[in-house]
Structure 1
Amino acid sequence: MDSGVIEGGLNVTLTIRLLMHSKEVGSIIGKKGESVKKMREESGARINISEGNCPERIITLAGPTTAIFKAFSMIIDKLEEDISSSISNSPGSSKPPVTLRIVVPASQCGSLIGKGGCKIKEIRELTGAQVQVAGDMLPNSTERAITIAGTIQSIIECVKQICVVMLESPPKGVTIPYRPKPSGSPVIFAGGQLTKLHQLAMQQSPFQQIPSNQGFTTTMDAAAQTSHEMTIPNDLIGCIIGRQGAKINEIRQMSGAQIKIANPVEGSSDRQVTITGSAASISLAEYLINASSESVGGVLEL
Protein backbone atom coordinates (compact mmCIF):
# COMPACT_ATOMS: atom_id res chain seq x y z
CA MET A 1 0.00 0.00 0.00
CA ASP A 2 1.57 3.30 -1.08
CA SER A 3 1.23 6.74 0.42
CA GLY A 4 -1.30 7.61 -2.31
CA VAL A 5 -3.79 5.43 -0.47
CA ILE A 6 -3.13 7.42 2.69
CA GLU A 7 -3.41 10.72 0.81
CA GLY A 8 -6.63 9.89 -1.01
CA GLY A 9 -8.45 8.15 1.80
CA LEU A 10 -10.01 5.44 -0.40
CA ASN A 11 -12.27 4.32 2.46
CA VAL A 12 -9.27 3.40 4.60
CA THR A 13 -10.10 3.90 8.28
CA LEU A 14 -7.26 4.59 10.66
CA THR A 15 -6.79 4.92 14.40
CA ILE A 16 -3.87 6.94 15.75
CA ARG A 17 -3.13 7.08 19.48
CA LEU A 18 -1.14 10.07 20.75
CA LEU A 19 0.52 10.10 24.18
CA MET A 20 0.66 13.62 25.60
CA HIS A 21 1.36 15.46 28.82
CA SER A 22 -1.75 16.71 30.60
CA LYS A 23 -0.74 20.36 30.08
CA GLU A 24 -0.61 19.81 26.30
CA VAL A 25 -3.97 18.04 26.37
CA GLY A 26 -5.50 20.92 28.34
CA SER A 27 -4.44 23.31 25.59
CA ILE A 28 -5.94 21.07 22.90
CA ILE A 29 -9.24 20.78 24.79
CA GLY A 30 -9.40 24.54 25.28
CA LYS A 31 -11.74 26.58 27.46
CA LYS A 32 -15.00 24.69 27.99
CA GLY A 33 -13.86 22.21 25.33
CA GLU A 34 -14.14 24.76 22.51
CA SER A 35 -10.80 23.92 20.88
CA VAL A 36 -11.33 20.15 20.59
CA LYS A 37 -14.95 20.73 19.51
CA LYS A 38 -13.70 22.88 16.63
CA MET A 39 -11.18 20.19 15.67
CA ARG A 40 -13.90 17.53 15.59
CA GLU A 41 -16.22 19.67 13.48
CA GLU A 42 -13.63 20.86 10.97
CA SER A 43 -11.82 17.55 10.52
CA GLY A 44 -14.72 15.09 10.72
CA ALA A 45 -12.51 12.76 12.78
CA ARG A 46 -13.52 11.13 16.04
CA ILE A 47 -11.30 12.55 18.78
CA ASN A 48 -11.42 10.85 22.18
CA ILE A 49 -9.35 11.95 25.17
CA SER A 50 -8.61 9.65 28.11
CA GLU A 51 -9.66 10.66 31.62
CA GLY A 52 -7.72 13.32 33.49
CA ASN A 53 -5.90 13.27 36.84
CA CYS A 54 -2.90 11.63 35.14
CA PRO A 55 0.48 13.16 34.21
CA GLU A 56 -0.06 11.71 30.73
CA ARG A 57 -3.19 11.20 28.66
CA ILE A 58 -4.08 9.42 25.44
CA ILE A 59 -5.72 11.22 22.52
CA THR A 60 -7.28 8.78 20.04
CA LEU A 61 -7.99 9.91 16.48
CA ALA A 62 -10.20 7.64 14.40
CA GLY A 63 -11.89 7.89 11.02
CA PRO A 64 -11.07 8.10 7.29
CA THR A 65 -7.47 8.98 6.49
CA THR A 66 -8.31 12.46 5.21
CA ALA A 67 -10.19 13.31 8.43
CA ILE A 68 -7.45 11.80 10.61
CA PHE A 69 -4.66 13.87 9.11
CA LYS A 70 -6.75 17.05 9.16
CA ALA A 71 -7.28 16.58 12.91
CA PHE A 72 -3.63 15.60 13.36
CA SER A 73 -2.48 18.77 11.57
CA MET A 74 -4.69 20.92 13.79
CA ILE A 75 -3.25 19.30 16.92
CA ILE A 76 0.34 19.90 15.75
CA ASP A 77 -0.51 23.50 14.84
CA LYS A 78 -1.78 23.98 18.38
CA LEU A 79 1.39 22.49 19.87
CA GLU A 80 3.59 24.78 17.77
CA GLU A 81 1.43 27.75 18.74
CA ASP A 82 2.02 26.93 22.41
CA ILE A 83 5.78 26.61 21.82
CA SER A 84 5.89 29.98 20.02
CA SER A 85 3.93 31.57 22.84
CA SER A 86 6.31 30.25 25.49
CA ILE A 87 9.35 31.40 23.49
CA SER A 88 7.97 34.93 23.09
CA ASN A 89 7.84 35.12 26.86
CA SER A 90 11.49 34.07 27.11
CA PRO A 91 13.62 36.42 24.95
CA GLY A 92 16.79 34.95 23.54
CA SER A 93 15.60 31.34 23.67
CA SER A 94 15.90 29.26 20.51
CA LYS A 95 12.70 27.68 19.26
CA PRO A 96 12.64 23.91 19.94
CA PRO A 97 11.09 21.54 17.38
CA VAL A 98 7.54 20.27 17.82
CA THR A 99 7.73 16.88 19.57
CA LEU A 100 4.99 14.32 20.04
CA ARG A 101 4.61 10.63 20.77
CA ILE A 102 2.35 8.05 19.19
CA VAL A 103 1.77 4.60 20.65
CA VAL A 104 1.67 1.47 18.50
CA PRO A 105 1.47 -2.28 19.19
CA ALA A 106 4.93 -3.68 19.92
CA SER A 107 4.31 -6.45 17.37
CA GLN A 108 4.37 -3.84 14.58
CA CYS A 109 7.59 -2.14 15.66
CA GLY A 110 9.80 -4.75 13.95
CA SER A 111 8.30 -3.84 10.56
CA LEU A 112 8.64 -0.17 11.37
CA ILE A 113 12.31 -0.48 12.32
CA GLY A 114 13.14 -2.84 9.45
CA LYS A 115 16.07 -5.20 9.13
CA GLY A 116 19.12 -3.55 10.61
CA GLY A 117 17.09 -0.37 11.10
CA CYS A 118 16.75 0.20 7.32
CA LYS A 119 13.04 1.16 7.36
CA ILE A 120 13.26 3.70 10.18
CA LYS A 121 16.33 5.21 8.50
CA GLU A 122 14.41 5.49 5.23
CA ILE A 123 11.51 7.27 6.99
CA ARG A 124 13.92 9.70 8.66
CA GLU A 125 15.61 10.55 5.35
CA LEU A 126 12.34 10.79 3.42
CA THR A 127 10.52 13.06 5.88
CA GLY A 128 13.31 14.99 7.60
CA ALA A 129 11.79 14.20 10.99
CA GLN A 130 13.64 12.71 13.93
CA VAL A 131 12.06 9.35 14.86
CA GLN A 132 12.88 7.19 17.86
CA VAL A 133 11.17 3.89 18.75
CA ALA A 134 11.24 3.13 22.49
CA GLY A 135 13.10 -0.04 23.43
CA ASP A 136 10.63 -1.10 26.13
CA MET A 137 6.88 -1.56 26.15
CA LEU A 138 4.80 0.97 28.07
CA PRO A 139 3.75 -0.22 31.57
CA ASN A 140 1.02 -2.89 31.75
CA SER A 141 0.63 -2.94 27.97
CA THR A 142 1.96 -4.46 24.75
CA GLU A 143 2.46 -1.05 23.14
CA ARG A 144 5.57 1.03 22.57
CA ALA A 145 5.98 4.78 22.19
CA ILE A 146 7.40 6.39 19.05
CA THR A 147 8.79 9.89 19.54
CA ILE A 148 8.72 12.18 16.50
CA ALA A 149 10.28 15.66 16.34
CA GLY A 150 10.63 18.23 13.59
CA THR A 151 8.66 20.78 11.61
CA ILE A 152 4.88 20.49 11.29
CA GLN A 153 5.11 19.19 7.72
CA SER A 154 7.91 16.70 8.47
CA ILE A 155 5.95 15.25 11.41
CA ILE A 156 2.75 14.89 9.36
CA GLU A 157 4.66 13.18 6.55
CA CYS A 158 6.45 10.94 9.05
CA VAL A 159 3.19 9.79 10.64
CA LYS A 160 1.77 9.07 7.17
CA GLN A 161 4.76 6.84 6.43
CA ILE A 162 4.35 5.08 9.77
CA CYS A 163 0.66 4.50 9.02
CA VAL A 164 1.54 2.95 5.64
CA VAL A 165 3.82 0.44 7.40
CA MET A 166 1.17 -0.31 10.03
CA LEU A 167 -1.50 -0.92 7.35
CA GLU A 168 0.87 -3.27 5.51
CA SER A 169 1.85 -5.14 8.70
CA PRO A 170 -1.20 -5.62 10.98
CA PRO A 171 -0.54 -6.31 14.68
CA LYS A 172 -0.04 -9.93 15.77
CA GLY A 173 -1.86 -11.51 18.69
CA VAL A 174 -3.66 -9.61 21.41
CA THR A 175 -2.78 -5.94 21.93
CA ILE A 176 -3.11 -4.60 25.46
CA PRO A 177 -3.43 -0.81 25.13
CA TYR A 178 -1.47 1.52 27.36
CA ARG A 179 -3.59 3.30 29.94
CA PRO A 180 -1.84 6.10 31.85
CA LYS A 181 -2.10 5.80 35.63
CA PRO A 182 -2.66 8.67 38.09
CA SER A 183 0.61 9.96 39.54
CA GLY A 184 1.65 8.17 42.71
CA SER A 185 -0.76 5.28 42.19
CA PRO A 186 0.53 1.71 42.61
CA VAL A 187 0.99 -0.48 39.55
CA ILE A 188 -2.03 -2.75 39.29
CA PHE A 189 -2.48 -5.36 36.61
CA ALA A 190 -6.12 -5.49 35.54
CA GLY A 191 -7.39 -9.07 35.65
CA GLY A 192 -9.04 -8.76 32.27
CA GLN A 193 -5.78 -7.68 30.62
CA LEU A 194 -3.79 -10.55 32.04
CA THR A 195 -6.59 -13.00 31.25
CA LYS A 196 -6.30 -12.04 27.58
CA LEU A 197 -2.54 -12.57 27.66
CA HIS A 198 -2.90 -15.90 29.44
CA GLN A 199 -5.49 -17.10 26.93
CA LEU A 200 -3.21 -16.21 24.04
CA ALA A 201 -0.17 -17.73 25.69
CA MET A 202 -1.98 -20.96 26.56
CA GLN A 203 -3.10 -21.37 22.94
CA GLN A 204 0.58 -21.78 22.11
CA SER A 205 1.38 -23.81 25.21
CA PRO A 206 2.90 -27.30 24.99
CA PHE A 207 0.85 -28.24 28.07
CA GLN A 208 -2.47 -30.04 27.79
CA GLN A 209 -5.59 -27.92 28.29
CA ILE A 210 -8.93 -29.14 29.62
CA PRO A 211 -12.22 -27.22 29.84
CA SER A 212 -13.56 -26.59 33.32
CA ASN A 213 -17.18 -26.41 34.48
CA GLN A 214 -16.80 -22.71 35.21
CA GLY A 215 -16.34 -21.86 31.54
CA PHE A 216 -12.64 -21.05 31.80
CA THR A 217 -9.72 -22.91 30.24
CA THR A 218 -7.64 -24.65 32.88
CA THR A 219 -4.45 -26.63 32.61
CA MET A 220 -3.63 -30.00 34.06
CA ASP A 221 -1.18 -29.52 36.90
CA ALA A 222 -1.25 -25.78 36.17
CA ALA A 223 -0.20 -24.98 39.71
CA ALA A 224 2.67 -27.46 39.69
CA GLN A 225 6.12 -25.91 39.38
CA THR A 226 8.00 -26.98 36.29
CA SER A 227 10.83 -25.66 34.16
CA HIS A 228 11.24 -24.93 30.48
CA GLU A 229 14.30 -23.86 28.51
CA MET A 230 14.52 -21.67 25.44
CA THR A 231 17.42 -20.33 23.38
CA ILE A 232 17.90 -16.65 22.65
CA PRO A 233 20.51 -15.34 20.16
CA ASN A 234 23.12 -13.06 21.72
CA ASP A 235 22.10 -10.15 19.49
CA LEU A 236 18.53 -10.28 20.88
CA ILE A 237 19.37 -10.73 24.55
CA GLY A 238 19.63 -6.98 25.10
CA CYS A 239 16.04 -6.29 24.06
CA ILE A 240 14.84 -9.13 26.33
CA ILE A 241 16.75 -7.82 29.36
CA GLY A 242 16.02 -4.13 28.69
CA ARG A 243 17.72 -1.10 30.12
CA GLN A 244 19.15 -2.00 33.55
CA GLY A 245 17.03 -5.18 33.51
CA ALA A 246 13.73 -3.28 33.26
CA LYS A 247 12.23 -5.48 30.51
CA ILE A 248 13.06 -8.87 32.06
CA ASN A 249 11.76 -7.65 35.43
CA GLU A 250 8.54 -6.53 33.77
CA ILE A 251 8.15 -9.98 32.16
CA ARG A 252 8.79 -11.68 35.52
CA GLN A 253 6.19 -9.47 37.20
CA MET A 254 3.51 -9.92 34.53
CA SER A 255 3.96 -13.68 34.16
CA GLY A 256 4.76 -14.65 37.74
CA ALA A 257 7.51 -16.95 36.45
CA GLN A 258 11.14 -17.13 37.53
CA ILE A 259 13.44 -16.38 34.58
CA LYS A 260 17.16 -17.07 34.63
CA ILE A 261 19.47 -16.08 31.77
CA ALA A 262 22.67 -18.11 31.60
CA ASN A 263 26.04 -16.40 31.26
CA PRO A 264 27.45 -16.22 27.72
CA VAL A 265 29.38 -19.29 26.62
CA GLU A 266 32.57 -18.74 24.64
CA GLY A 267 32.10 -19.72 21.02
CA SER A 268 28.31 -19.84 21.26
CA SER A 269 26.03 -17.34 19.52
CA ASP A 270 23.13 -18.15 21.84
CA ARG A 271 22.17 -17.78 25.51
CA GLN A 272 20.14 -20.34 27.45
CA VAL A 273 17.07 -19.07 29.31
CA THR A 274 15.37 -21.16 32.00
CA ILE A 275 11.76 -20.33 32.92
CA THR A 276 10.33 -21.85 36.11
CA GLY A 277 6.75 -21.67 37.34
CA SER A 278 3.27 -22.99 36.63
CA ALA A 279 2.33 -24.03 33.10
CA ALA A 280 0.32 -20.83 32.66
CA SER A 281 3.08 -18.54 33.91
CA ILE A 282 5.71 -20.26 31.74
CA SER A 283 3.53 -19.89 28.64
CA LEU A 284 2.87 -16.23 29.41
CA ALA A 285 6.58 -15.57 29.99
CA GLU A 286 7.41 -17.26 26.65
CA TYR A 287 4.82 -15.14 24.89
CA LEU A 288 6.16 -11.89 26.38
CA ILE A 289 9.77 -12.83 25.57
CA ASN A 290 8.79 -13.59 21.97
CA ALA A 291 6.84 -10.32 21.74
CA SER A 292 9.95 -8.44 22.85
CA SER A 293 12.15 -10.19 20.28
CA GLU A 294 9.62 -9.88 17.43
CA SER A 295 9.46 -6.14 18.02
CA VAL A 296 13.02 -5.93 16.69
CA GLY A 297 12.52 -8.55 14.01
CA GLY A 298 13.93 -11.53 15.86
CA VAL A 299 12.74 -15.14 15.87
CA LEU A 300 13.40 -17.31 18.89
CA GLU A 301 13.93 -21.05 19.12
CA LEU A 302 11.64 -22.59 21.75
Structure 2
Amino acid sequence: MPLQEIGSIIGKKGETVKRIREQSSARITISEGSCPERITTITGSTDAVFRAVSMIAFKLEEDLGAGADGVSAGRAPVTLRLVIPASQCGSLIGKAGAKIREIRESTGAQVQVAGDLLPNSTERAVTVSGVPDTIIQCVRQICAVILESPPKGATIPYHPGLSLAGLERDQKAESAQGKKCPALPVLSTVSLLMSPLELPAWQDCSGCSWLTPSLPFQLIGCIIGRHGSKISEIRQMSGAHIKIGNQTEGSSERHVTITGTPVSITLAQYLITAW
Protein backbone atom coordinates (compact mmCIF):
# COMPACT_ATOMS: atom_id res chain seq x y z
CA MET A 1 0.00 0.00 0.00
CA PRO A 2 1.10 3.62 -0.56
CA LEU A 3 2.12 5.48 2.60
CA GLN A 4 -1.07 7.56 2.58
CA GLU A 5 -3.26 4.45 2.67
CA ILE A 6 -1.06 2.86 5.33
CA GLY A 7 -1.45 5.95 7.49
CA SER A 8 -5.23 5.69 7.21
CA ILE A 9 -5.20 1.98 8.15
CA ILE A 10 -2.91 2.60 11.13
CA GLY A 11 -4.94 5.58 12.31
CA LYS A 12 -4.14 8.13 14.99
CA LYS A 13 -1.83 6.53 17.56
CA GLY A 14 -2.53 3.15 15.94
CA GLU A 15 -6.20 3.17 16.94
CA THR A 16 -7.61 2.00 13.58
CA VAL A 17 -5.33 -1.00 13.09
CA LYS A 18 -5.84 -1.93 16.75
CA ARG A 19 -9.62 -1.95 16.22
CA ILE A 20 -9.27 -4.06 13.05
CA ARG A 21 -7.11 -6.57 14.91
CA GLU A 22 -9.55 -6.83 17.82
CA GLN A 23 -12.71 -7.09 15.71
CA SER A 24 -11.28 -9.48 13.12
CA SER A 25 -9.11 -11.63 15.46
CA ALA A 26 -6.43 -11.53 12.74
CA ARG A 27 -2.75 -10.72 13.25
CA ILE A 28 -1.80 -7.68 11.20
CA THR A 29 1.77 -6.54 10.65
CA ILE A 30 3.02 -3.64 8.53
CA SER A 31 6.50 -3.63 7.02
CA GLU A 32 9.05 -1.10 8.26
CA GLY A 33 10.86 1.50 6.21
CA SER A 34 10.56 4.97 4.73
CA CYS A 35 9.93 3.82 1.16
CA PRO A 36 6.85 5.01 -0.80
CA GLU A 37 4.95 1.79 -0.14
CA ARG A 38 4.61 -0.75 2.66
CA ILE A 39 3.30 -4.32 2.88
CA THR A 40 0.44 -5.25 5.19
CA THR A 41 0.45 -8.93 6.16
CA ILE A 42 -2.75 -10.46 7.54
CA THR A 43 -2.52 -13.83 9.28
CA GLY A 44 -5.15 -15.99 10.93
CA SER A 45 -8.06 -18.31 10.18
CA THR A 46 -9.83 -17.87 6.85
CA ASP A 47 -12.72 -16.05 8.51
CA ALA A 48 -10.39 -13.78 10.50
CA VAL A 49 -8.39 -12.85 7.40
CA PHE A 50 -11.50 -11.96 5.42
CA ARG A 51 -12.95 -9.92 8.26
CA ALA A 52 -9.72 -7.91 8.30
CA VAL A 53 -9.64 -7.56 4.50
CA SER A 54 -13.27 -6.39 4.58
CA MET A 55 -12.59 -3.76 7.22
CA ILE A 56 -9.53 -2.49 5.34
CA ALA A 57 -11.41 -2.32 2.03
CA PHE A 58 -14.34 -0.43 3.55
CA LYS A 59 -11.95 1.95 5.32
CA LEU A 60 -10.22 2.73 2.01
CA GLU A 61 -13.58 3.25 0.33
CA GLU A 62 -14.58 5.62 3.11
CA ASP A 63 -11.41 7.66 2.57
CA LEU A 64 -11.81 7.74 -1.23
CA GLY A 65 -15.50 8.60 -1.11
CA ALA A 66 -15.16 11.53 1.27
CA GLY A 67 -15.08 14.97 -0.33
CA ALA A 68 -12.97 17.90 0.74
CA ASP A 69 -15.48 18.68 3.48
CA GLY A 70 -15.44 15.10 4.72
CA VAL A 71 -18.94 14.37 3.38
CA SER A 72 -19.38 11.11 1.49
CA ALA A 73 -19.42 11.60 -2.27
CA GLY A 74 -20.70 8.12 -3.14
CA ARG A 75 -19.05 4.76 -3.67
CA ALA A 76 -15.59 4.93 -5.14
CA PRO A 77 -13.64 1.97 -6.57
CA VAL A 78 -10.90 0.63 -4.30
CA THR A 79 -7.65 -0.92 -5.52
CA LEU A 80 -5.61 -3.47 -3.58
CA ARG A 81 -2.30 -4.96 -4.69
CA LEU A 82 -1.71 -8.51 -3.48
CA VAL A 83 1.77 -10.05 -3.40
CA ILE A 84 1.72 -13.67 -4.58
CA PRO A 85 4.56 -16.13 -5.34
CA ALA A 86 5.08 -16.31 -9.10
CA SER A 87 4.87 -20.12 -9.03
CA GLN A 88 1.21 -19.83 -8.00
CA CYS A 89 0.20 -17.25 -10.60
CA GLY A 90 -0.20 -19.85 -13.34
CA SER A 91 -2.99 -21.54 -11.38
CA LEU A 92 -4.61 -18.16 -10.78
CA ILE A 93 -4.57 -17.32 -14.48
CA GLY A 94 -5.63 -20.79 -15.59
CA LYS A 95 -5.38 -22.43 -18.99
CA ALA A 96 -5.75 -19.75 -21.67
CA GLY A 97 -6.79 -17.32 -18.91
CA ALA A 98 -9.91 -19.32 -18.03
CA LYS A 99 -9.58 -19.09 -14.23
CA ILE A 100 -8.92 -15.38 -13.97
CA ARG A 101 -11.75 -14.73 -16.43
CA GLU A 102 -14.07 -16.81 -14.25
CA ILE A 103 -13.06 -14.81 -11.14
CA ARG A 104 -13.67 -11.52 -12.94
CA GLU A 105 -17.10 -12.56 -14.18
CA SER A 106 -18.31 -14.10 -10.92
CA THR A 107 -17.19 -11.24 -8.66
CA GLY A 108 -17.41 -8.19 -10.90
CA ALA A 109 -13.93 -7.10 -9.80
CA GLN A 110 -11.09 -6.17 -12.11
CA VAL A 111 -8.10 -8.52 -11.66
CA GLN A 112 -4.71 -8.09 -13.29
CA VAL A 113 -1.63 -10.31 -12.78
CA ALA A 114 1.66 -8.50 -13.43
CA GLY A 115 3.86 -10.12 -16.06
CA ASP A 116 7.15 -9.18 -14.35
CA LEU A 117 8.47 -10.20 -10.95
CA LEU A 118 8.56 -7.60 -8.21
CA PRO A 119 12.13 -6.27 -7.76
CA ASN A 120 14.65 -8.67 -6.17
CA SER A 121 11.98 -11.30 -5.43
CA THR A 122 10.17 -14.32 -6.86
CA GLU A 123 6.75 -12.73 -6.31
CA ARG A 124 4.31 -10.91 -8.55
CA ALA A 125 1.74 -8.20 -7.90
CA VAL A 126 -1.93 -9.06 -8.44
CA THR A 127 -4.07 -5.93 -8.66
CA VAL A 128 -7.73 -6.15 -7.63
CA SER A 129 -10.09 -3.21 -8.20
CA GLY A 130 -13.77 -2.60 -7.48
CA VAL A 131 -16.13 -1.70 -4.68
CA PRO A 132 -15.34 -3.45 -1.35
CA ASP A 133 -18.05 -6.12 -1.80
CA THR A 134 -16.55 -7.30 -5.09
CA ILE A 135 -12.97 -7.04 -3.83
CA ILE A 136 -13.72 -9.21 -0.79
CA GLN A 137 -15.29 -11.94 -2.93
CA CYS A 138 -12.41 -11.71 -5.39
CA VAL A 139 -9.75 -12.05 -2.67
CA ARG A 140 -11.65 -15.03 -1.25
CA GLN A 141 -11.55 -16.80 -4.63
CA ILE A 142 -7.88 -15.94 -5.17
CA CYS A 143 -7.02 -17.40 -1.77
CA ALA A 144 -8.98 -20.56 -2.57
CA VAL A 145 -6.95 -21.01 -5.76
CA ILE A 146 -3.54 -20.53 -4.15
CA LEU A 147 -4.45 -22.78 -1.21
CA GLU A 148 -5.05 -25.58 -3.71
CA SER A 149 -1.76 -24.85 -5.51
CA PRO A 150 1.09 -24.47 -2.97
CA PRO A 151 4.17 -22.50 -4.11
CA LYS A 152 6.98 -24.49 -5.73
CA GLY A 153 10.51 -24.11 -4.45
CA ALA A 154 11.67 -21.30 -2.20
CA THR A 155 9.99 -17.91 -2.31
CA ILE A 156 12.14 -14.79 -2.14
CA PRO A 157 9.79 -12.18 -0.63
CA TYR A 158 9.40 -8.68 -2.00
CA HIS A 159 10.79 -5.88 0.18
CA PRO A 160 9.44 -2.46 -0.91
CA GLY A 161 12.10 0.12 -1.60
CA LEU A 162 14.98 -2.33 -1.31
CA SER A 163 17.60 -1.51 -3.92
CA LEU A 164 20.12 -4.32 -4.04
CA ALA A 165 21.49 -2.92 -7.29
CA GLY A 166 22.38 0.34 -5.55
CA LEU A 167 24.01 -1.51 -2.67
CA GLU A 168 25.95 -3.64 -5.12
CA ARG A 169 27.28 -0.53 -6.89
CA ASP A 170 28.38 0.93 -3.55
CA GLN A 171 30.12 -2.29 -2.57
CA LYS A 172 31.93 -2.54 -5.92
CA ALA A 173 33.15 1.02 -5.48
CA GLU A 174 34.45 0.22 -2.01
CA SER A 175 36.07 -2.98 -3.28
CA ALA A 176 37.91 -1.01 -5.97
CA GLN A 177 39.33 1.18 -3.21
CA GLY A 178 40.49 -1.87 -1.26
CA LYS A 179 37.94 -1.47 1.53
CA LYS A 180 36.07 -4.21 3.31
CA CYS A 181 32.60 -4.93 1.90
CA PRO A 182 29.83 -4.24 4.44
CA ALA A 183 27.06 -6.73 5.06
CA LEU A 184 23.96 -6.15 2.99
CA PRO A 185 21.05 -5.14 5.25
CA VAL A 186 18.73 -7.57 3.45
CA LEU A 187 21.03 -10.47 4.31
CA SER A 188 20.69 -9.84 8.03
CA THR A 189 16.92 -9.39 7.72
CA VAL A 190 16.41 -12.60 5.75
CA SER A 191 18.67 -14.65 8.01
CA LEU A 192 17.01 -13.41 11.19
CA LEU A 193 13.50 -13.95 9.91
CA MET A 194 13.89 -17.12 7.89
CA SER A 195 16.64 -19.18 9.47
CA PRO A 196 18.01 -20.19 12.85
CA LEU A 197 21.48 -20.37 11.33
CA GLU A 198 24.16 -18.05 12.63
CA LEU A 199 24.63 -14.97 10.46
CA PRO A 200 27.55 -15.39 8.06
CA ALA A 201 30.52 -13.04 8.18
CA TRP A 202 31.52 -10.92 5.19
CA GLN A 203 35.17 -11.14 4.23
CA ASP A 204 37.55 -8.75 2.49
CA CYS A 205 36.93 -8.84 -1.21
CA SER A 206 38.34 -7.46 -4.44
CA GLY A 207 36.06 -7.55 -7.46
CA CYS A 208 33.74 -10.21 -6.03
CA SER A 209 32.17 -10.87 -2.67
CA TRP A 210 32.06 -14.10 -0.73
CA LEU A 211 30.91 -15.48 2.59
CA THR A 212 31.42 -18.81 4.31
CA PRO A 213 28.61 -20.02 6.55
CA SER A 214 28.70 -23.54 8.00
CA LEU A 215 25.72 -25.87 7.87
CA PRO A 216 24.94 -28.86 10.11
CA PHE A 217 25.92 -32.11 8.42
CA GLN A 218 22.33 -33.46 8.44
CA LEU A 219 21.11 -30.47 6.42
CA ILE A 220 23.68 -30.79 3.66
CA GLY A 221 21.79 -33.65 1.97
CA CYS A 222 18.63 -31.54 1.81
CA ILE A 223 20.54 -28.66 0.23
CA ILE A 224 22.27 -30.86 -2.36
CA GLY A 225 19.10 -32.80 -3.24
CA ARG A 226 18.74 -35.97 -5.27
CA HIS A 227 21.63 -36.20 -7.73
CA GLY A 228 22.48 -32.57 -6.92
CA SER A 229 19.13 -31.22 -8.20
CA LYS A 230 18.53 -28.74 -5.34
CA ILE A 231 21.96 -27.15 -5.30
CA SER A 232 21.88 -26.88 -9.09
CA GLU A 233 18.57 -25.02 -8.83
CA ILE A 234 19.98 -22.69 -6.16
CA ARG A 235 23.02 -21.95 -8.35
CA GLN A 236 20.82 -21.27 -11.37
CA MET A 237 18.35 -19.02 -9.49
CA SER A 238 20.99 -17.00 -7.65
CA GLY A 239 23.80 -16.90 -10.19
CA ALA A 240 26.29 -17.62 -7.39
CA HIS A 241 28.98 -20.28 -7.27
CA ILE A 242 28.45 -22.62 -4.29
CA LYS A 243 31.04 -25.08 -3.00
CA ILE A 244 30.40 -27.50 -0.13
CA GLY A 245 33.53 -28.62 1.69
CA ASN A 246 34.29 -32.04 3.10
CA GLN A 247 33.37 -32.93 6.67
CA THR A 248 36.29 -32.51 9.02
CA GLU A 249 37.02 -35.03 11.74
CA GLY A 250 35.30 -34.25 15.04
CA SER A 251 32.97 -31.66 13.48
CA SER A 252 29.22 -31.94 12.88
CA GLU A 253 29.25 -29.18 10.26
CA ARG A 254 30.47 -28.72 6.71
CA HIS A 255 31.88 -25.53 5.32
CA VAL A 256 29.96 -23.79 2.52
CA THR A 257 31.59 -21.17 0.32
CA ILE A 258 29.38 -18.88 -1.78
CA THR A 259 31.05 -16.69 -4.39
CA GLY A 260 29.55 -13.99 -6.58
CA THR A 261 28.16 -10.48 -6.48
CA PRO A 262 26.47 -9.24 -3.28
CA VAL A 263 23.10 -9.70 -4.98
CA SER A 264 23.74 -13.31 -6.02
CA ILE A 265 25.22 -14.17 -2.62
CA THR A 266 22.21 -12.73 -0.85
CA LEU A 267 19.81 -14.77 -2.97
CA ALA A 268 21.85 -17.95 -2.58
CA GLN A 269 22.01 -17.52 1.22
CA TYR A 270 18.26 -17.02 1.35
CA LEU A 271 17.52 -20.07 -0.80
CA ILE A 272 19.87 -22.26 1.27
CA THR A 273 18.32 -21.23 4.60
CA ALA A 274 14.76 -21.46 3.20
CA TRP A 275 15.37 -25.07 2.13
TM-score (norm 1): 0.58
Aligned-residue offset at 1:201: 5.8
Give a deviation string over 1:218-261, Cα, whole Å, max 9, x none: 59xx88xxxxxxxxxxxxxxxxxxxxxxxxxxxx99559xxxxx
Identity of aligned residues (%): 53
Map of 1:202 onto structure 2: 231
Say whether the 8 Å CA contact 1:45–1:64 is kept in structure 2. yes
Aligned-residue offset at 1:144: 0.6
Map of 1:44 onto structure 2: 25
Map of 1:100 onto structure 2: 80
What number of residue pairs does the alignment pair up? 208
What is the aligned counterpart of 1:68 among 23, 32, 49? 49
What is the aligned counterpart of 2:133 among 147, 153, 159? 153
CA RMSD of aligned residues (A): 3.9
Map of 1:215 onto structure 2: 254
Say whether the 8 Å CA contact 1:48–1:61 is kept in structure 2. yes
Q: Which runs of 4+ in 1 moved over 3 A?
A: 86-91, 93-96, 185-194, 198-201, 203-210, 212-219, 252-256
Aligned-residue offset at 1:52: 3.8
Question: Is there any run of 5+ residues in structure 2 with no aligned partner, and where?
Answer: 169-183, 196-222, 248-252
User: Structure 2: how far apart are the matches of 1:103 and 1:87?
Assistant: 32
Question: Is there any run of 5+ residues in structure 1 with no aligned partner, and where?
Answer: 1-19, 224-251, 257-280, 288-302
User: Structure 2: how far apart are the matches of 1:142 and 1:54?
Assistant: 20
Q: What letter matches 1:128 in structure 2?
A: G
Any idea what SS the aligned residue of 1:56 has?
coil
User: Structure 2: how far apart are the matches of 1:157 and 1:33?
Assistant: 27
Map of 2:121 onto structure 1: 141
Residues 166-181 of structure 1 aligned to structure 2 (within 5 Å): 166-181=146-161
Give a deviation string over 1:56-108, Cα, whole Å, max 9, x none: 000000000111100110000110000011476799x9964111101011110
TM-score (norm 2): 0.64
> Which structure features the higher share of strand residues?
1
Give a deviation string over 1:2-60, Cα, whole Å, max 9, x none: xxxxxxxxxxxxxxxxxx00110000000000000000011100000111411000000
Change (3 A) 1:208 1:60: closer
User: Structure 2: how far apart are the matches of 1:211 and 1:100?
Assistant: 47
Higher relative contact order (CA 8 A, sep 6+): 1
